[in-house]
Amino acid sequence: MWIPGTATKALREARASLAKLNVAAELVKDLEIPKNSTVVEINSGYGFFTYALLQCPNVKRVIAVENNKDALIDLQKLKYESDSRLQILEVKKVLDYNNWISDVQVESHPWEEVHPSLFSIVHVPNKWHGIHMLGQYLKDFHQRSGIQSFGRVRMNLITPSFAAEKLSASVGDSKRSKLSFMREAVSELEILRLIPEDAFQPKGIHVLYNMTPKVESKISKEVPLETFEYVLSHMVLKKNASIRDMLYKLGAGAENININLTFDSRIAVIDATVDQLVELTYHFEKWPFRPPDFDMNSIDPDFRHRKRA
């Protein structure tokens, strides 16, 4: 029998565990889940949120994606009491879609509309593990890959404060990062609730977000995603410096790109808009002396710190 109250320790260093059933129930209400929905829950943990989802009459099926052995034991106990509504996918890496995405088995929906019967909830890990995971989901939004291959799927995030600050930072914010630029380019973000720290083990403030792909990404077809990432990674190395002063980081002679820009490149990186950085990337991509290969590991702080989820 599944018994609430097992979350007395963290799953591992980079993951907090939701440990209060009443809070889980409140969060599920905040999601306003439509009828007959399939919910893909990533990093389900010990099952507190999973249990709350199963109590929601609008939830037809929950697909719990998890790779922690201790958590899987508790989820299996919960599965026996779920009337076949809970499907557990034991994976080695949750971002390795090829090993589990085919098990979702939901009809695709036109991209112009948000998918009416499929959405996901992600328990985001802490520190750079979470940054990496969110970065991959934003790429999926742009490329319509992963769970977004079924259509424009709403993604809800239970996000620790470290990642939340980087994800939600807007123009002029000192926390602005490559992640927040990417988020602005490809998604709409809404804060649903601040979750108190004592709802988790170990304690820590989290934020519940609603993040939905834009119908049209601001990263235009003329701008390859990898080039946009390369430009962003260099620009945010010194966020308070001007874009003009950071151009040299893109390659020897890249200062010459400045003459093609339609905006004032004396603007600080943290004050720049996504549209301005897309324009910069467009001219960099067309620049005849652009480096032929991008070594992201040498310059991207996200790549230097992260481990695969």
Give the pair of three-digit tokens for residue 226.
Answer: 């990898």
CA dihedral 204, 239, 211, 148 (to 10 degrees): -120
Give the span between the Cα atoms of 284 and 227, in whole angstroms. 8
**Angle at the Cα of 185 (from 184 to 191), degrees rounded to 5?**
30
Angstrom distances, CA of residue 84 to CA of 76, 88, 116, 129: 12, 10, 22, 32
Give the span between the Cα atoms of 290 and 250, in whole angstroms. 8
Give the span between the Cα atoms of 2 and 51, in whole angstroms. 9
Q: 18: annotated binding-site residue?
A: yes
Q: Which residue ranges are tagged as binding site?
A: 18, 66
Binding-site residue set for S-adenosyl-L-methionine: 18, 66
